[in-house]
Amino acid sequence: TCAKGTLLGQHVCFINGGAGNDVMNWIVTCIENSGEFQCNADGGAGHDQINLQLGTETTPVDFKGVVDYFADTGSGDDEWNAIVNFTGDSDGVVSTFTVLLGDGSDAALLGFIGLGNTQILEGLVDGGAGDDTYVGPPPILLTFPVSNFEIGV
């Protein structure tokens, strides 16, 4: 688990689950969040769950920084869940946002409660091989591709 309050400056977080069934959590519930962030999750083989929570329904994060986010769940029946709630004043930049779910019957949940003026420059959510499920905004409304999902797209 990578749980943080106020984040300023440079922040690097790598989580490697290796083989086996893993649960990985990134939880940011602070009021102020500015700086440069690099976040990588590698689930490896197994039934993995990666959870990304940026803000809560009642307490959004004021995001002013730059972030690179990469998650690869590897093979197995995996889950990737993201809930994002930024303040209306947020004007950060997501320079890359990549989620690779790999082989298996995977599920992806992408919940944007609020983004403010945050820019997403490049991204990809890919279900990989298998019977995969996507729950989230219609891909036509996103600035990045959502691909290889058999249910929900």
> Are 142 and 132 a contacting pair, CB within 8 Å?
no
Q: Are 71 and 101 in contact, with CB atoms under 8 Å apart?
A: no
Q: What is the pLDDT of residues 60-75, one digit of tens each?
A: 888 888 999 999 999 9
Average pLDDT value for residue range 24-45: 84
18 contacts 44 by C-beta, under 8 angstroms: yes
The pLDDT of residue 8: 67
Phi, psi dihedrals of residue 105, rounded to the nearest 5° = -90, 95
Q: Write down the pLDDT at residue 7.
A: 64
DSSP 9-37: SEEEEEEE--SS--EEEEEE--SEE-SEE
Q: Could you report the per-residue pLDDT of 121-139, keeping only the tens digit for each?
A: 999 999 999 999 999 998 8
pLDDT at 105: 96
Residues 6+ apart with CB under 8 A from 140: none
Q: Which residues contact 68 (CB under 8 A, 6 or more apart)?
A: 37, 38, 39, 94, 95, 96
DSSP code at position 89: T
Residue 35 has a pLDDT of: 79
When pLDDT is averaged across residues 9-23 and rounded to a whole number, the result is 86
Q: Is 3 a residue whose pLDDT tops 70?
A: no
Q: Share the mean pLDDT of the chain.
A: 89
Is the CB of residue 124 less than 8 Å from the CB of residue 144?
yes
pLDDT for the residue numbered 143: 85
Give pLDDT, residue 5: 62
Mean pLDDT of the 63-89 span = 93
